[in-house]
Structure 1
């Protein structure tokens, strides 16, 4: 059985790739390390965004596991222009997987890139892998495995959040671990 722990980054100061963790987010990163202290982890893969890397760095240090950076785990770009009604636009992308806004990617396009990462892990040799990503992209991954996962579930994600994907006999199940 292969396990992938999908982690949404800890609380951050903003959305840009260079946004740092807040003081609370830094504490949450240490809480994550404690949460996984009894779990065997073979591999850690992170979004290139600073808040994602910083969220998992304490655990990587504790386990002496190198963090691999994968651009396919970067947050989904809704649009490259500022959308005053971004929340409604985001909701629309959960209802229509192909809707796309200026400079952005559709839900289907974003889902494809994170699913590729997960499939590569499931086809690999490691038993227990952590991937660190962002709320919207994480939601699309969870939707891929559970068609009922939608916009309201995205709204209810926490920073951080942890889901477990288990692949047993090519059947993938998911479970929320973070409370």
Structure 2
């Protein structure tokens, strides 16, 4: 049984603390992404409950006529504002520590490894309950996508897409990029990584 996952990073968000919406530029990105996905036989759209993901998914829903469902398992490993009084600099430092040490458990949120395993188990669950040949759009966060990839694929497999994937992972998933995964016979393959061709 084959399942196609289209992992979409949310559109450009406002640079403020907390659960922020997408910007006007982000709306343009989301609309372009939605027009592109209108040509795909999308069977399901699932989004992170954070507003930037919901905003992005809403545009995709309009173009594909598929209702959006939310799932907590698609949240980012941590969000600036989850820890009271944390400055942006402190958040970035915490984030970078999590990225360089996948087992590091931050004071709020998940470790990189936990986040990657969370998305992996969710996708595997979907492959068992959704019909064969489903095309599932997952609107989530760049960090969660790379957490999953680093947790699921070998460094050699990832370096096909970027020569220093693990070290550079935090910079590899642009807003509204689409990473296409195929799940078949219990195995994932990356068909396309962080594509932004639809935004040009």
The change in CA–CA distance for 1:56 and 1:151 in structure 2 (over 3 A counts) is farther
How far apart are the structure 1 equivalents of 2:106 and 2:152? Answer: 25
Which residue in 1 is equivalent to 2:182?
166
Which residue in 2 is equivalent to 1:80?
83
2:66 is the alignment partner of 1:65: yes
Gaps of 5+ in 1: none
Kept in 1: contact 2:12–2:22 (CA 8 A): yes
The change in CA–CA distance for 1:16 and 1:52 in structure 2 (over 3 A counts) is farther
Which residue in 1 is equivalent to 2:136?
129
2:111 is the alignment partner of 1:111: no
Which residue in 1 is equivalent to 2:100?
95
**Moved segments of 4+, more than 4 Å:** none
TM-score (norm 1): 0.89
Kept in 2: contact 1:17–1:50 (CA 8 A): no
How far apart are the structure 2 equivalents of 1:35 and 1:138? Answer: 20
How much has 1:88 moved relative to structure 2?
A: 4.4
Kept in 2: contact 1:94–1:107 (CA 8 A): yes
How much has 1:69 moved relative to structure 2?
A: 0.5
Which residue in 1 is equivalent to 2:125?
120
TM-score (norm 2): 0.80
Aligned length: 179
2:158 is the alignment partner of 1:140: no
